[in-house]
Amino acid sequence: MKKSVYLYLLSIGAILVFNSCAKDYGDLNDATVQSFISNASASELNNLVSGTESGLRTNLSLYLDDIGIIGREMYHFSNSEPRYVTDLLGGGGATLSNSNFYITNPWASRYTVVKNCNILIQAATNSTQITAAQRSGYIGFAQTIKAYQLLMNLNLSDSNGIRINVNDPNNLGPIVTNVTALAAISSLLDSGLSSFNNADIVFTLAGFGNFSNAQGLAQFNRALAARLDVYQQNWSAALTDLGQSFFSLTGDFNLGVFDVFGTGLGDQLNTFFIPQNQTGEIRVAHPSFAEDIEPGDDRINKATLRIAVASLDGLSSDRDVWVYTSSTAPVPIIRNEELILLYAEANIQNNDLSDGVNAINIIRTGHNLAAYSGAMTQSALITEMLNQKRYSLYCEGHRWLDLRRYNLLSSLPIDRPGDQVWTEFPLPVSEQQ
Amino acid sequence: MRMLFLAVLFLSCIAILPEHVFSQTKTITGKVTDNKGGPIVGASITVNQSALGTATDADGKFRLTVPPGAGLIISSAGYKSKTIKVGDLLEFMDVKLDEDVAHLDEVIVTGLATSVKRRNLANAVATISSNELDGVAPAQTFDAALEGKIPGAYINANDGAPGGGISVKLRGVTSVYGNTQPLYVVDGVFVDNTATSAGLNVVTNALANGLPTSNAAGGTQDNPSSRIADIRPEDIESIEILKGASAAAIYGSRAAAGVIIITTKKGKEGRTKISVSQDLGEIRVRKLLGVRQFNAERAASLSSDSATGVLLSQEFLAAQAKGQIYDYEKEVFGNTGFARNTVLSVSGGNSKTGFYFSAAQKDEGGIVKNTGYRNSSLRLNVDHHITDNIKIGITTNYINSSADRGLTGNDNTGVSLGIALSSTPSFAQLHDSAGIYPNNPFAASNPLQTIALMTNNESVNRFITGLSFDATLQKSIKSTTKLIGRGGIDFYDLETNAIFPSILQFEAINKGTTVQGFTSNLNTNYILSLVNTLTPTDKFSMTTSAGLTQETGDYNNVLDVATQVISGQTNINQAGALNGTQLRTKFQNQGIFAQEEANLNDVLMLTGGVRFDRSSNNGEVAKYYVYPKGGISLNLTRWDLIKGDVFDNLKLRAAYGQANNVPAYGSKFTEFSISNIAGNPGLLVNPQEGQPDIKPERQTEFETGVDFSVLKGRLGFELTYYQKDIFDFLMQSNPPSSSGFSSAWANAGNLRNRGVELGMNAGVVETRTVVWNTTVSFWLNRSLVTELTIPSVPQGSFGYVLGSFQIQQGQSATQILGLNGAGGVSKLGDAEPTFQMSTYNEVTFFNKLSLRFLIHWKQGGQNINLTNLENDFGGTSADYDQVTNKLGVPNGVYRIMQVGTDAHEFVQTASYLRLREIGLYYSFTNLPVDYIKAVRIGLSLNNYVTITKYKSYDPEVSNFGSGFSSGVDVDPYPASKRADFHITFDF
C-alpha cells in the first residue's frame, strides 16, 4: 500500500514538472511583421525601404515578357515552358488563363511591394524613434512606389481593374476599373509629392542615382505622374508635371531611375538577360523589329543577328533581344527618353505640333536618323511618335500599352493562323472569389 | 530538472525491488519442429511470467534453465504458440508447432508499452515479416521495400533516382498541406523522415524565381530522398502498421497519418550465430519511351523558318550518311548499374544478455552513368537483465549513405536530362572528343555533358540510438506493476552537393554553380509509462497504463549557392558570388496518456484510452488537446457461442480513436524575407501570411470488421471497413494576392475517407513435399471534402491547361480538374486508385527450395502526364508522326493543339499490374563441414514485369515529391528493375 502511495506521488510530481515547461520557440528564421509595426527604429525602417526597392525587381522580367510578347516586340522560346508561345500569342486556340504564371506571378509580386509599402507607412507612423520630417520621407517614398506598383498591375489588367485599398488583408477594398484606378493612382502620387515637400531622407537607395534626396524623389514622383497624365489624356497636366520632373530635352536619354541588379548576398540578377546565340531558353526579336526599322537607326543594336535562326512551334527569328546585355544590366523604371516622348505626345495632342516635332527630332537625331520629314498632321505625328517610342523603349514594357491606348492593337502582325493579340489579362483567379 | 526527476525515479525503482531466491532450477533441452518435422529456427522459448528465455538454433534445438514452478511458452512468427505447464515439463522436450496461417498468435503492440495477440485485436493491423520485407527480391532502400505490402496504403515512388524517395499514404489522404506521411518508430525511437532539398532550383528554376529550396504548393520539385530510406531492411525483424487514429491514437501528436513500428533483430540465448550474405545484381531501366524516327522532311519541319529547315534537313542527311544517328534516350537512361550488398550479422547471448550485431555495405549503380547509391551500416542491439526484475535494452545504429541522383524532373531552363532530351533529335551530334563536349544546338544543355560533369549528391551520417528499460516494481500472484521507459535520439548530418562546372553548356551565364547544403537534425523522444496487469482470476485480466511522452526536433539547414566558380574548384569560396540561406525549425510535443485494456477470457477485449497533447507548433503552445480512443473485440468461437467445425476462429471488432497532426513550424508567423539590393539589407514581406491562432488538425477514425478462419485455421479472412474524418485540415488558402499574400495557413475544412480492406490467408497446399501459403489483399479508399471554408482554387500542379488538383467541397480530395475542350473546366480524373490488390505467395518444396513472389495490381487513379507533351513540343516523341487521332493530323501536332483548350490528353489513367518481387531460394543444411550450419542461395527479380497502358516511363511518379499532389509526371528519373543473385552462409 505504501508503494502505491509512493507511486501516486511520483506520478503527480512527474506531471507537474512536465506541465511547467511548455516551449514557445518563436520565429528562429526571420523578422516578423508584428515586431516592426510596434515601434521601429530608423535602421529597421531603412530595411523596409531597401526591401521595397529590391522587391520592385521580382518577376520584372516576366512583366517585360508579357508586354513584349503580346506587343509583338519579341518571342520567348523555352523548351520547358510552352505557354510563352501558346497562351500569350493565342497559338493553337489557347487563351490567357487566370491561373497561369504570366499573370499570377507578376501581379502577386507587385502587391507584395504594395504590402511592404503599407507596412512601411504603418511602421513609420507608429515609430517614436524618428523625426516628423524623416517620417514624411518614408511615407512619401512608400506612397510613390505604391502608386508605381499599382500602375504596373493596371497595365496588365486594364479594364478588368485593380484593388487600390489593400491595407487590411481580411477586408480588401473593391476592384476599381481603369478610369477610377488611374485617378486613384494619380492622387496617391500627389500625396507622395506633398510628403516629399518637407521631408528629410535618411535612407539609402540603390537605383535612384542623383534622385535619392527629397528633391530628386519629388522629380521622380512627377515623372511617373506625367506618364499617368498621358494615360489619362490630361495633356496639359502632363506638361506641368514634366516641368517638375527631371525631364530635359537636352539631357541624357538615360538619365532616370532604374532597377539595379547585383550578385551580392540576397540580391537579384536581371533574369531577362540571356547571352547571345543561346539555344533552348532564349529571347529573340519579333521579325518585324528589323523589317520595320529605318535604315541607319542605331537602335537596330537592341536586337543582334544570331549565328543560327531560332525557331519554335511555327515561329522563328534571326535576332536576339540585346537590350539588357549582362545579368546585372539595369532596367529603367522611368528615364528621360520616355519623358521626351511623353512631352512630344502631349504637345502633339495639344496641337502644338512644332514642339512635338522638335522633341521627336531630338529622339531621331539622337539615334543617327535624319530629322522628321513626314506630314505635319496630328495623326501622322502620333504615328511617328509611336514608332519612335517603339524603338526607343524596345522591351522596356511600353509598346503593347501604347497601341492599346490608341486602339491600334489590330495593326500588330499575326504570325500564325489563329494567333490573337490580347487586349488585357484576366484578373488572377484568387481575385475573382 | 527533468533529468534529476528521471534519476530519482530510476533509483526509487531499484530501491523497491523485491528480493528473489532461486532454488532447484531445471535444465531442459529440446527441439522445436513444424508439423512436417522440419526444424523451426529461431523459435523463442520463454519461461512463463518471466523475462528468461532462449531461442532455437539452426537445427531447431534449444537448452534452457528453468526456475522451479514455472512453465514454458514456445512461439515463433508464423506458428501458433504453445504453453507447456509445469507438470508437463520433461528433461527433453520435443515440441511441434502448428502453422498459424491467419497469424492469430502474432503479438501486436497496441499501447506505448502494452501489446495483445492478434486474436484479441480490435483493429486491422498490418504486419510485414522480415521474410516478406527483404526475403523475396530486396529493393534498394527500406521505403521501396514496403511497396505492395501494406493493405490500405497508397505507396508511390516519386521517381527512380538512386536512394529512394517514396510517398506512403495510409487509408487515403489525411491532410492537404499538413504532414501526409506516417510516423516511423524504430525500436521506440521516433525517426525523422524529412526530405531536404539540395537547392537545385538554382539551376532548374522549376519554380520560377523561387528560392533555392522553394516548395511549390505541396512539395519541392528537387526530388530529394526521404530520410527513412537510410534504415537497413536486413536488420528488421518485423514491421507493424497502425493505419489510422483508432489504432495509433496513443502515439499522439504525430500519429494522424498512421504509425509504422519497426522492430529490429535482437539476440537470444544460445549458441552465437554468425551469418554472412552477399548479393550481386544489376539494375536496368524498366522502360524507354523510344525516339522519333527522323527523315529529311521531318528534320526540316523542326523549324518553321524555311531556310533553317533546309539546313536541318542537310544536317540530317549528313549525319545519316556518316551513320551518326543516335538514340540519345538509350544513351542517357540505358546504363546498366552493378549492385553489390554484403551483410555480416552476429547474434547470441546468455541467460542475462543478448546481442545482435550487424555490419553491412551496399553499393549500387544507376541507369544513368555517374548516379548510384551507397549505404554502410553498423548496428549493435544489446538486451541485458540487470536483475530478474530490471531489463534494459540498447539499440544503436550508425549509417553512412550516399546517393548520386542525377538531374531530372521539371525545370524551366532546359537543363534536366529529360527536358534536354525532349528537344534533341537523333541527328544531333552530342558526343565528346577527348572529353570536350559540343554545345547542343537543339537545347539549353547537352545531356551527355551534363551526366559526365555534374554532381548531385546527398550524403548522410546518421546515428540512431534507443534505450529501453522495464522494471518490475511490484509482483504478486494477481498483480504486476512495471515501469517502462523507452526513448532515444535520431541524429543526422546531411550534406547535399550540387556541382555544375563552368564548362557546362548551361553555365554560360552563371559560369559555374556550386550549391552546398549542410543540414543537421536531432530528434529526441521518450515515453515513461507505468503498467499494471491485474489478473483476479485466470479468466479475467486488466492492463492499466499511464504515462508521459515527449518529442523534440531541431532541424538546421544551411544552403550556400556559389556562382562564377573558378574552373576545377568546388568550394564555395572559390567563386565570384556567394549567396546563402538558413532554415531552422524546432518543436516540442508533449503528451499525457492513460489506457485501460480488459480481457475477459480471451472472449471479450475492451480498450479505452485518452491522450492530452500540446505542441510548440500550435498557436496556443500551453493548451492541451484531448484525444480519446476505444476498442472492442468479441471472439465468438472462444465464447463457445458458435460450435461445430466450420469456424476455427471468429471475431467481431470495432475501434474508434482520435489523433492530431500539428501545424508546420512557423505557420504562426507573418515574416519578412531578406531581399537586399546593392549591399543595402532589405526586408520584404513574405507572401505567406501567418495564422497566430493555428490549431492542430484532428483526425477521428472508426473502424469495424470481422476476422474468421476456417478449415482448422488454414483459411483466414480479415474484413475491415473504416471511416476517417479529418477536422480543421491544414491548408494554405490562396487569399486574393492583392492582399500582399499569396498563401495563408488556415484550418480550412473537413475531409472524410472511407474504405474497405479485405485480406485472405490460405495454406493452399500442405503436404510433406510442397507447402504453399498465400496472402491476398484487396483495398480501396474514397475521399470526400465535406466542408471547405476557404475559396477553392487550383493547386499543386500547372493549372487547368495541363490538369490540376483542386480541393472542392462535395468532391474527392484528390480530384483532377482541367479544361474540358468545350470551353469550360471539369473533372478529368482522380489520383485515388479505384482499388488495389496484392498477393504474396511462398511455395516451399521439400523444405529446401522456396519460391516467393509478390504481385501488385493498382486499378485506376489518374496521373498528370506531361513527359510526352514535353517531347511533342521538342518534336521528338516516338509516335509524333503517327496519325491515330480524330483530326487526322500527326499525333504530336494533335497533342500540342490540345494545350489551352483540352487537358484530357494529359490526365491519364495510371493502372498497373506489377510482378513486384519474385525470388527462388535453396537451402543446404547437411553440409560436409560442421562449422557451416547452412548455406542459402537465391535468385531474385525486383519490379521486372509491369503491365500498363500508361504512356510514360512508369505509372509511379511524383514531380512534387511525397506531398499532397502526387502523380505529376514531368521527365522523371526513369524507374528501374533489378536482378540479384544471393548467397548466405550461416555459421
> DSSP letter string over B804-864?
EEE--TTS-TTEEEEEBSSSSEEEEEESS-SEEEEEEEEEEETTTEEEEEEEEEEE--EEE
332-361 in A: which are within 8 Å (CB) of B? Answer: none
Task: Give the separation between CA A359 and CA A368, rounded to whole angstroms.
Answer: 15
Residue of A29, A33, A162 lying closest to B685 (CB–CB):
A33
In this prediction, residue A303 carries a pLDDT of 97
**What are the backbone angles phi and psi of residue A345, rounded to the nearest 5°?**
-60, -45
Q: Where do runs of H (alpha helix) occur along A264-352? A: 287-292, 336-349
**b/e per residue, B773-808, with b = 16+ CB within 10 A?**
bbbbbbbbbbbbbeebebebbbbbbbbbbbbbbbbe
Pairing relation of β-strands B183-186 and B835-845?
Answer: unpaired
CB B53 within 8 A of CB B64: yes
State the count of interchain CB pairs (< 8 A) between A and B: 323
The predicted-structure confidence for B9-56, as pLDDT tens digits, reads as follows 443 443 344 434 344 677 888 888 887 777 787 788 877 666 567 778
Task: Give the separation between CA B378 and CA B468, rounded to whole angstroms.
Answer: 20
CB A75 within 8 A of CB A284: yes
The predicted-structure confidence for A369-422, as pLDDT tens digits, reads as follows 999 999 999 999 999 999 999 999 999 999 999 999 999 999 999 999 999 999
CA geometry: angle B419, B420, B425, nearest 5 deg: 115
In this prediction, residue B210 carries a pLDDT of 52
In the block, residue with C-alpha cell 529550396? B213
Contacts of B611 (CB under 8 A, 6+ apart): B249, B250, B252, B591, B592, B593, B626, B627, B628, B629
pTM above 0.90, yes or no: no
CB B143 within 8 A of CB B229: yes
Q: How close is the nearest chain A Cα to the Cα of B273, in Å?
A: 42
Best CA proximity match to A388, nearest among A407, A369, A414:
A369
CB atoms near residue A20 (< 10 Å): 10
Mean pLDDT by 10 residues, chain A (433 residues): 57 62 83 89 96 96 97 91 91 85 94 96 96 96 98 96 94 93 97 95 95 96 98 97 97 97 88 92 96 96 95 91 96 98 97 96 97 96 97 97 97 94 94 78
In the block, residue with C-alpha cell 496484392? B838
**Chain A contact probe: residue of B680, B867, B872 with most A CBs at under 10 A:** B680
Pairing relation of β-strands B270-285 and B337-349?
Answer: antiparallel
Sheet strands side by side (includes B61-66): B61-66, B26-34, B92-97
A108 contacts B414? CB cut-off 8 A: no
Name residues of chain B where pLDDT drops below 50: 1-23, 209, 211-219
Best CA proximity match to B890, nearest among B908, B878, B899, B904:
B878
Task: Give the separation between CA B514 and CA B495, rounded to whole angstroms.
Answer: 13
Pairing relation of β-strands B647-661 and B697-710?
Answer: antiparallel
DSSP code of residue A281: S
Q: Grid coordinates in use for B607? A: 480498450
The predicted-structure confidence for B392-403, as pLDDT tens digits, reads as follows 999 999 999 999
In this prediction, residue B81 carries a pLDDT of 78
CA B879, B882, B885, B891 torsion-angle sign: positive
A93 contacts B900? CB cut-off 8 A: yes
Q: Collapsing DSSP states into helix, strand and coil, what is residue B2?
A: helix
Task: Give the separation between CA B26 and CA B65, rounded to whole angstroms.
Answer: 6
**Chain B contact probe: residue of A80, A306, A430 with most B CBs at under 10 A:** A80
Q: Give, in words, the CATH class of A34-268+333-432.
A: mainly alpha
In this prediction, residue B691 carries a pLDDT of 87
Best CA proximity match to B230, nearest among B324, B350, B360:
B360
Task: Give the separation between CA B143 and CA B962, rounded to whole angstroms.
Answer: 12
Pairing relation of β-strands B968-969 and B862-865?
Answer: parallel
In the block, residue with C-alpha cell 496472402? B775
**Chain A contact probe: residue of B213, B449, B671, B685 with most A CBs at under 10 A:** B685
Task: Give the separation between CA B255 and CA B425, rounded to whole angstroms.
Answer: 50
Q: DSSP secondary structure string, B185-248?
A: EETTEEEP-PPPP--THHHH-SSTT--TTPEETTEESS-PPPGGGGS-GGGEEEEEEE-SHHHH
Q: Grid coordinates in use for B505? A: 553548356
In this prediction, residue A176 carries a pLDDT of 95
B587 contacts A99? CB cut-off 8 A: no
Superfamily of domain B2-99: Carboxypeptidase-like, regulatory domain (2.60.40.1120)
Q: Grid coordinates in use for B746? A: 488556415
Q: Where do runs of H (alpha helix) occur along A158-258? A: 178-197, 214-231, 235-244
Task: Give the separation between CA B578 and CA B859, rounded to whole angstroms.
Answer: 49
Q: How close is the nearest chain A Cα to the Cα of B79, in Å?
A: 39
Best CA proximity match to B843, nearest among B764, B957, B910:
B764
In this prediction, residue A400 carries a pLDDT of 98
Q: How close is the nearest chain B Cα to the Cα of A203, in Å?
A: 10
DSSP code of residue A208: -
Task: Give the separation between CA B275 and CA B270, rounded to whole angstroms.
Answer: 15
Task: Give the separation between CA B923 and CA B903, rounded to whole angstroms.
Answer: 55
In this prediction, residue B643 carries a pLDDT of 66
**Chain A contact probe: residue of B677, B805, B808, B971 with most A CBs at under 10 A:** B677
In this prediction, residue A14 carries a pLDDT of 64
Q: Where are the domains of chain B?
A: 2-99, 127-287+335-791+831-861+910-986, 296-326
Neighbouring C-alpha atoms within 13 Å toward the C-beta of B218: 25
Give the type of residue at B69.
G
**What region does A354 belong to: left with phi over 0, alpha with psi -120 to 50, or beta?**
alpha
The predicted-structure confidence for A229-265, as pLDDT tens digits, reads as follows 999 999 999 999 999 999 999 999 999 999 999 988 8
Contacts of B42 (CB under 8 A, 6+ apart): B55, B56, B76, B268
Superfamily of domain B127-287+335-791+831-861+910-986: TonB-dependent receptor, beta-barrel domain (2.40.170.20)
In chain B, residues with a C-beta closer than 8 Å to the C-beta of A106 are none
CA B737, B741, B747, B751 torsion-angle sign: positive
The answer to whether A51 faces chain B, any CB pair under 8 Å, is yes
Q: Which residue of A has its CA nearest to B305?
A: A316
First to last CA, chain B: 49
In this prediction, residue B7 carries a pLDDT of 43
List the beta bridge partners of residue B382: B355, B394
366-405 in A: which are within 8 Å (CB) of B? Answer: none
In chain A, residues with a C-beta closer than 8 Å to the C-beta of B678 are 206-207, 260, 262, 264, 267
The predicted-structure confidence for B333-348, as pLDDT tens digits, reads as follows 999 999 999 999 999 9
DSSP code of residue B538: T
The answer to whether A202 faces chain B, any CB pair under 8 Å, is no
Q: B965: part of which helix (H) or strand (E)? A: none
In this prediction, residue B28 carries a pLDDT of 81
Residue of A7, A50, A99 lying closest to B680 (CB–CB):
A50
Q: Where are the domains of chain A?
A: 34-268+333-432
A315 contacts B5? CB cut-off 8 A: no
Predicted ipTM > 0.85: yes
